[in-house]
Amino acid sequence: MLGTLFNSVAVAIGASLGLVLRRRVPEKLRTAVFSAIGLFTLYIGADMMGSLTRPIAAFIALVLGAGLGHVVGLDQKIRKAADRLGQGEGAAMVQSTLLFCVGAMTLVGCMQDGLRGDPSILLAKGTMDLFSSLFMAATMGRGVLLSALSVLVLQGTLTLLFSMMGSGIPESLIHELTGLGGILLLALGLDLLNIRTFSLIDLTWSLPLLPLVLWILDVTGFPA
């Protein structure tokens, strides 16, 4: 839970600083900071991809996850819901919660912390969210500060669920999940850099599908 605690405190600190600065943050500085965040996300993703030993399984899980995500349409539904919120503290809280809690880095970070006791991804995410919350609060108001509680509750619950599953998950599967999570983080980094936009929420379906894909490949004897 260390990663989640750090993340929620970082959002609270960043948002508080943003409220003090308000609209005195230049647009060019905001763009530069988000570019740095995107580059660092690419690094984390590339580093995690080294855990993959069965890339064909990860590829199949990504394809199936993308298809399932498209059918369910959760990414698009969340984006439309955020667009309908309009202005105000409630809108700011929900929109910032979506940024901080719904995405590949949250899921992968909680998975790492819960399964392996490794909070490094959430520590990195918390540092990134500190800067993001600063710039968001400077323009959107106190609702961003309230999202710190959402981070604590949502990420804490997810980490706890992964922790409860930990003893029943083989080390080999953890490595494959970590590698696939790295691919999702690469997509997030490209998104943050405005190079390519992905339906990241839809792609995260590939993580729960990966164990099933690995089992099918093992049963059929497919060399992956």
DSSP secondary structure, the chain, as one string: -HHHHHHHHHHHHHHHHHHHHGGGS-HHHHHHHHHHHHHHHHHHHHHHGGG-S-HHHHHHHHHHHHHHHHHH-HHHHHHHHHHTS-SSHHHHHHHHHHHHHSSHHHHHHHHHHHHH---HHHHHHHHHHHHHHHHHHHHH-THHHHHHHHHHHHHHHHHHHHHHHGGGS-HHHHHHHHHHHHHHHHHHHHHHTTS----HHHHTTHHHHHHHHHHHHHHHT---
- The amino acid that residue 135 corresponds to is F
- The residue segments making up the domain with residue 185 are 2-220
Residue of 47, 4, 1, 60 whose CA lies nearest to 178: 47
pLDDT value at position 91? 63
pLDDT tier for residue 102 given thresholds of 50, 70 and 90: low
Evaluate whether 44 touches 182 at the Cβ level (below 8 Å).
yes
* More confident: 16 or 112: 16
Q: Between vectors from CA 29 to CA 79 and to CA 182, what angle results, nearest 5°?
A: 50
pLDDT value at position 21? 85
pLDDT value at position 36? 83
pLDDT value at position 70? 85
Indicate whether 130 pLDDT > 90.
yes
Two tokens, residue 47: 């580093």
- Tally of domains within the chain: 1
Residue of 133, 151, 188, 157 whose CA lies nearest to 18: 133
CB-neighbour burial class of residue 91 (10 A; exposed 0-12, middle 13-18, buried 19+): middle
Indicate whether 123 pLDDT > 90.
yes
Helices 120-140 and 143-165 pack at an angle, to 10 degrees, of 160
pLDDT value at position 90? 64
pLDDT value at position 94? 66
Indicate whether 98 pLDDT > 80.
no
Indicate whether 168 pLDDT > 90.
no
Indicate whether 75 pLDDT > 80.
no
**Mean of the pLDDT values across residues 45-73?**
90
CA-CA-CA-CA dihedral for 12, 14, 20, 24, to nearest 10: -150
Over the stretch 8-50, which tens digit does the pLDDT of each residue have?
999 999 999 998 987 677 878 777 877 887 888 888 888 888 8
Indicate whether 53 pLDDT > 80.
yes
**Mean pLDDT over the full length of the chain:** 83
**Mean of the pLDDT values across residues 125-139?**
86
Distance CA(201)–CA(173), nearest Å, equals: 22
Q: What percent of the chain has pLDDT over 90?
A: 23
Two tokens, residue 126: 């918390």
Residue of 66, 82, 58, 78 whose CA lies nearest to 210: 58
